[in-house]
Amino acid sequence: MDTNVPLGNERGGRVETVAYDNNIVRMFAIASLVFGVVGFLVGIIVAIKLYIPGFLGGIDFLSYGRLRPLHTNAVIFAFAGNAIFLGVYYSLQRLCKTRMFSDTLSKIHFWGWQLIIVSAAITLPLGITTSKEYAELEWPIDLAITLVWVVFGWNMIGTILRRKEKHMYVAIWFYLATFLTVALLHVVNSLSLPVHLLKSYSMYAGVQDALVQWWYGHNAVAFFLTTPFLGIMYYFIPKAAERPVFSYRLSIIHFWALIFLYIWAGPHHLLYTALPDWAQSLGVVFSFMLIAPSWGGMVNGLLTLRGAWDKVRTDPVLKFMVVGVTAYGMSTFEGPMMSLKNINALTHYTDYIIAHVHLGALLWNGGLTFAMLYYIFPRIYRTKLYSISMANWHFWLMTLGVLIYVIPLYWGGITQSLMWKQFLPDGTLQYPNFLETVTQLIPMYVMRSIGGTLYLLGACVGIWNLYKTARSGKLLANEEVQVVNRMAEKSHEPKEGWHRLLEGTPVRFSLLIFVAVLIGGVVEFVPTALVESNIPTIASVKPYTPLELEGRDIYVREGCYTCHSQMIRPFRSETERYGEYSKVGEFVYDRPFQWGSKRTGPDLHRIGGKYPNAWHWKHMNEPRSTSPGSIMPGYGWMYTVDLDVSHTEGKILTMQKLGVPYPEGFAANAVADLQAQAATIAEELGNAGIKNVDPKKEIVAMIAYLQRLGTDIKKMPPTASGN
Amino acid sequence: MSVMPLLVICSILVAGGFLLAFLFATKRGQYDDLGTPAVRMLFDDVHKKTEIK
């Protein structure tokens, strides 16, 4: 709606001309779409690999374990990330009635972020990874992310300080919370000690690493995939519906509640694990409370459309918005429910979680992103949307695609979990072979890949529609508008000097948000890090030998954690299947921790000694030779590539710096120790009938690590448990 | 359990901090008007080429 603006007002507000930067908006839009397609495509590839393990051949850089982190990073940080910046750069300029603070910073932000994405796309398939989920990138890229993120924040806060509107609209607070919290999370979780340019070990070990990681992991969902998109919702829904937000008061209340509660919720990713119980309970309580502010946001978004529901029938922007916000409501209902220990016991490690996150990512983040694009493109290109019916096709392909994706996985997740827990009347497991519970899911895996393909098709239709829209108009790179500078009004003049310094609300809010999340985070992980009693040391748990350490690094490189957990929960169904439940003291030398979050394959914490070396030798090369019907890929390259021992000494030295008690001077003998252990394994394999094993190959280190897993505890005297 | 006192103290600090923040913001007038900001953002900007009479 257009309105006339007075040339000034009696308080001294002046009419000024400002030019919004639409070019940067366009650049982020294109980046989001391009990387979105890449992310979805890689997702479909890994989905197909779950029922055709040999899909794309046995090539190392295209294996499931390496592509899966690429998929998650591409969708979260490249597709949704660029969408966030697109939404922030478009709406912030209009809410603040000013151009972005600096065109140079905008460009550095854009190109820096794309460079990080490209480096992720190169390093992750090469197996250069920290294995911390959604934070897999190695330390030099982590540093680059920090720098680019600071540029983003600088540009954003600079813009807010130059605003010509006194009141900060609620969306801006969500953007500020995003910037500050993600900065903190990223830095704390990425702390590590480099061995060399492409390898580092986490500053935290075992349970502490797990807690920091999921404190980060959950808040990445909260402050990367939720708060910025809520800000986007609060700008674009009212604009598209031409209705004010249902309750502005509610938006303020749920904002503060959300940022305060979210930071405590991380431990719900670690229920029934070796994490101290008080931390688990804390996570449960706060996760459950989160339903209130989350639904506050959903209700506020949907009720904004009261009296305007007829527009939802015709306007593609609102259609995508409504489905997106509804999916947000569903996801944020599931989240608190799955944080309850009894439900978590059922859903954790299963495909239920995969369905849950895809409902959020594909409909909430994806739906809002496409709604935003359909809103912005006609406006910055000064034209009409090329085709409404094409947008409707996209809408239905997206919605049906997601339903065909999530429903089979919800079903499959529950099915598998119930099969894991099913006992026979005589007290033995009904499905003692894990594989039985996997083959049951194959039809669901097929359907999910079909659903994902429909979603990608929809996105392609959307991109074509947006491309044709852009072609039919002309980009208004600098949108010149006349605004009233209300910051020049008399009543705003600060009474005291320091007020001018702080420049009112943005800085204050930034500080408050920072303090709120910092306190939440510190309370949660510092006690675990500092209080020794949390980690009962088990005398028989010893550091890994150099060969095992190298094998462990291969385990990390190949992304084994994407399908295998190393955390046996204290349930009868799990101890019966896997062995003694995992103790916190067993992980004190695990950097990074490898607890995992998904059991596509069985837990591996007690795999050591369960099978002979020869079994692993056959199984790792061709899993179906020992386990018919297995969906695990073969790792043929480990049999041909020599283990790189050039950094073994450095790795031991780094571990010593981190407090791992290797004997003084051990590093110098590390390679000799490694070779001796490898020779023993090769000899054992020879005795088992596998002749001519070259002890230099990577597979030998891998076998050494697998055979060590979870065995230390068996060496301790029966009553010496520290727990 | 030795961490419980620490937790309680920190929780009280957080709650107190938020109470102060809320009071401070209210005193500064941030929440005086919860009606017009929601409406004001709906108005489209006046483009330069549109002459203002």
A418-429 in b/e form (b: 16+ CB < 10 A) is: ebbbeeeeeeeb
Q: What's the pLDDT band for A96 if we cut at 50, 70, 90?
A: very high
Question: B10 and A505: CB-CB below 8 Å?
Answer: no
User: Which residue has better confidence, A520 or A659?
Assistant: A659
Question: B37 and A519: CB-CB below 8 Å?
Answer: no
CA gap A187, A156 in Å, rounded = 20
Has residue A6 got a pLDDT over 60? no
Q: Which of B19, B28, B45 to mutate to test the interface with A (most CBs of A within 10 A)?
A: B45
Q: What is the pLDDT of residue A722?
A: 43
Question: B41 and A527: CB-CB below 8 Å?
Answer: no
* A55-74 mean pLDDT: 94
CA gap A403, A668 in Å, rounded = 57
> Using N-to-C axis directions, what is the helix angle for A248-262 and A206-224, rounded to 10°?
170
Segment A217-243, tens digit of pLDDT: 888 888 899 999 999 999 999 999 999
* Contact between residue A180 and residue A123 where contact means Cβ atoms under 8 Å apart: no
* A464-477 mean pLDDT: 96
* A336-353 mean pLDDT: 95
CA gap A221, A182 in Å, rounded = 10
User: Which residue has better confidence, A342 or A7?
Assistant: A342
Pick the residue from chain A with its C-alpha nearest to B47. A481
Nearest CB to B34; choose among A3, A249, A504: A249
Angle at A65 between CA A60 and CA A69, to 5 degrees: 115
CA gap A253, A257 in Å, rounded = 6
CB atoms within 10 A of CB A530: 11
Q: What is the pLDDT of residue A184?
A: 78
Residue A232 to residues A59, A315, A321, A379, A510, Cα–Cα distance (Å): 41, 18, 10, 16, 19
* A635-648 mean pLDDT: 96
Has residue A534 got a pLDDT over 80? no
User: Which residue has better confidence, B48 or A180?
Assistant: A180
* A202-230 mean pLDDT: 88
**Percent share of chain A, pLDDT over 90:** 74
Q: How far is A249 from chain B (nearest CA, A)?
A: 6
CA gap A278, A281 in Å, rounded = 5
Task: Tell me which chain B residues have a C-beta less than 8 angstroms from the C-beta of A527.
Answer: 3, 6-7
* Contact between residue A664 and residue A720 where contact means Cβ atoms under 8 Å apart: no
H/E run at residue A484: strand A478-485
User: DSSP characters for A177-238?
Assistant: HHHHHHHHHHHHHH-EEEEETTEEEESS-HHHHHHHHHHHHHHHHHHHTTHHHHHHHHHHHH
- Sign of the Cα torsion A83, A88, A93, A95 reads positive
Q: What's the pLDDT band for A3 if we cut at 50, 70, 90?
A: very low
* Contact between residue A586 and residue A719 where contact means Cβ atoms under 8 Å apart: no
Nearest CB to A239; choose among B1, B4, B42: B42
CA gap A559, A130 in Å, rounded = 10
Q: What is the pLDDT of residue A723?
A: 43
Has residue A204 got a pLDDT over 90? no
Segment A424-467, tens digit of pLDDT: 999 999 999 999 999 999 999 999 999 999 999 999 999 999 99
Q: What's the pLDDT band for A2 if we cut at 50, 70, 90?
A: very low
Question: A4 and B53: CB-CB below 8 Å?
Answer: yes
User: Which residue has better confidence, B52 or A343?
Assistant: A343
CA gap A136, A363 in Å, rounded = 24
Task: Tell me which chain B residues have a C-beta less than 8 angstroms from the C-beta of A1.
Answer: 42-44
Q: What is the pLDDT of residue A177?
A: 83
Segment B8-42, tens digit of pLDDT: 454 465 456 556 656 766 676 667 788 888 888 88
Question: A520 and B33: CB-CB below 8 Å?
Answer: no
User: DSSP characters for A587-643?
Assistant: GTT-SS----SB-SS---TT-TTTS-HHHHHHHHH-HHHHSTT--PPP-GGGGTSBP
CA gap A340, A342 in Å, rounded = 6
Q: How far is B12 from chain A (nearest CA, A)?
A: 11
CA gap A26, A376 in Å, rounded = 9
Has residue A719 got a pLDDT over 90? no
| Pairing state between β A478-485 and A199-202 | unpaired
What tokens were used for A671?
Answer: 């390679």
A 462-491 residues with CB < 8 A to B: 479-483
A 267-296 residues with CB < 8 A to B: 278, 282
Segment A405-417, tens digit of pLDDT: 999 999 999 999 9
CA gap B48, A36 in Å, rounded = 35
Segment A705-715, tens digit of pLDDT: 999 999 998 88
Q: Give pTM, 2 decimals.
A: 0.90
- Sign of the Cα torsion A608, A610, A613, A618 reads negative
Has residue A249 got a pLDDT over 50? yes
Nearest CB to B41; choose among A3, A5, A238: A238
Has residue A501 got a pLDDT over 50? no
Q: How far is A115 from chain B (nearest CA, A)?
A: 34
Nearest CB to B10; choose among A97, A239, A519: A519
Question: B6 and A512: CB-CB below 8 Å?
Answer: no
Q: What is the pLDDT of residue A374?
A: 97
Whats the size of chain B, residue-wise?
A: 53
CA gap A157, A137 in Å, rounded = 27
Nearest CB to A5; choose among B4, B42, B46: B46
Whether residue A532 lies within 8 A of chain B, CB to CB, comes out as no
**Residue A621 CA, distance from chain mean position:** 30
* A351-362 mean pLDDT: 96
Pick the residue from chain B with its C-alpha nearest to A97. B45
Tell whether ipTM is more than 0.85.
Answer: no
A 603-662 residues with CB < 8 A to B: none
Strand order in B46-47's β-sheet?
Answer: A14-21, A478-485, B46-47
What tokens were used for A146?
Answer: 């920090």
CA gap A619, A633 in Å, rounded = 10
Angle at A611 between CA A607 and CA A612, to 5 degrees: 130
* Contact between residue A205 and residue A593 where contact means Cβ atoms under 8 Å apart: yes
* Contact between residue A568 and residue A603 where contact means Cβ atoms under 8 Å apart: yes
- Which residue shows structure tokens 């919605």? A399
Nearest to A108 by CA among A57, A66, A158: A158
Q: What's the pLDDT band for A521 if we cut at 50, 70, 90?
A: low
Segment A575-602, tens digit of pLDDT: 999 999 999 889 989 999 999 999 999 9
Name every residue in B having a CB less than 8 A away from some CB of A: 1-4, 6-7, 10-11, 13-14, 17-18, 21-22, 25, 28, 30-31, 33-35, 37-50, 52-53
Q: Where are the alpha helices (DSSP H) in A442-571?
A: 442-472, 497-502, 505-530, 546-557
Segment A139-161, tens digit of pLDDT: 999 999 999 999 999 999 999 98
Residue A31 to residues A78, A150, A220, A420, Cα–Cα distance (Å): 8, 20, 21, 43
Task: Tell me which chain A residues have a C-beta less than 8 angstroms from the C-beta of B53.
Answer: 4
CA gap A223, A520 in Å, rounded = 14
Task: Tell me which chain A residues have a C-beta less than 8 angstroms from the C-beta of B14.
Answer: 260, 516, 519-520, 523
* A95-123 mean pLDDT: 96
CB atoms within 10 A of CB A407: 15
What tokens were used for A355?
Answer: 């369905």
Nearest CB to A482; choose among B1, B18, B52: B52
Q: What is the pLDDT of residue A1?
A: 43
Residue A175 to residues A27, A427, A596, A698, Cα–Cα distance (Å): 19, 54, 31, 46
Q: What's the pLDDT band for A502 if we cut at 50, 70, 90?
A: very low
- Which residue shows structure tokens 């919860």? B34
Q: Which of B11, B42, B43 to mutate to test the interface with A (most CBs of A within 10 A)?
A: B42
A 14-43 residues with CB < 8 A to B: 15, 17, 20
Mean pLDDT of all residues in chain A? 90
User: DSSP characters for A457-475?
Assistant: HHHHHHHHHHHHHHHHS--
HSE of B15 in the Cβ direction (CA atoms, 13 Å)?
A: 6
Segment A676-689, tens digit of pLDDT: 999 999 999 999 99
Phi then psi for residue A16, to 5 deg, are: -130, 160
Nearest to A278 by CA among B23, B29, B5: B5
CA gap A142, A183 in Å, rounded = 11
Max mean pLDDT range (A113-127, A164-178, A501-515):
A113-127
- A481, β-bridge pairs: A18, B47
Whether residue A87 lies within 8 A of chain B, CB to CB, comes out as no
